[in-house]
Structure 1
Amino acid sequence: MPKMKNKSAVKKRFSFTGTGKVRANQSGKRHGMIKRTNRQIRDQRGTTILNESDAQIVRHFLPYGR
């Protein structure tokens, strides 16, 4: 049986924590910052942990957990 391939786009955008949760970049930070409140911009720094239902989709595309 051949090896399953990881989805290249997913491996660039997501990573895993030590406990196996899926870490992702915050959304809504690309453009239009003038509309966002300062608090919203501040809260969207760094990364976030995905909801478990969304994390299952990401794990499907990364069968070997890269």
Structure 2
Amino acid sequence: MPKLKTRKAAAKRFEKTGSGKLRRRKAFKNHLLQHKSATRKRRITGLVVVNERDAENVQLMLPYL
């Protein structure tokens, strides 16, 4: 069997927690921030756990994570 390749774009975006769940960054915090309120920007800061429906697809992209 050949080795599986990691999707490098996904490897840069996801990380695994100690319990084995996948974490991702929240969207909409890159640019066009001047019209967004401070409350909204605080809410979209930080990491969240990937939804269980999406986690299977992400895991396929990251076979050795």
Fold shared by both chains (TM-score > 0.5): yes
**Inter-partner Cα distance in structure 2 for 1:20 and 1:53:** 15
Deviation at residue 36 of structure 1 after TM alignment: 1.8
Q: Deviations over 1:5-50 (max 9, x none)?
A: 1111111111000111111111100112123222110111121111
Structure 2 length-normalised TM: 0.87
**Inter-partner Cα distance in structure 2 for 1:15 and 1:29:** 19
Aligned residues: 65
- Structure 1 unmatched ranges of 5 or more: none
What is the alpha-carbon root mean square deviation over aligned residues? 1.1
- Structure 2 unmatched ranges of 5 or more: none
**Inter-partner Cα distance in structure 2 for 1:56 and 1:19:** 16
Structure 1 length-normalised TM: 0.86
- Percent of aligned pairs sharing the same letter: 38
Matching of residue 10 in structure 1 with residue 6 in structure 2 = no
**Inter-partner Cα distance in structure 1 for 2:6 and 2:37:** 37
Runs (4 or more) in structure 1 with deviation over 3 Å come to: none
Alignment of 1:1-66 (within 5 A): 1-65=1-65
Secondary structure of 1:48's aligned partner: strand
Q: Deviations over 1:41-64 (max 9, x none)?
A: 011112111111111111010112
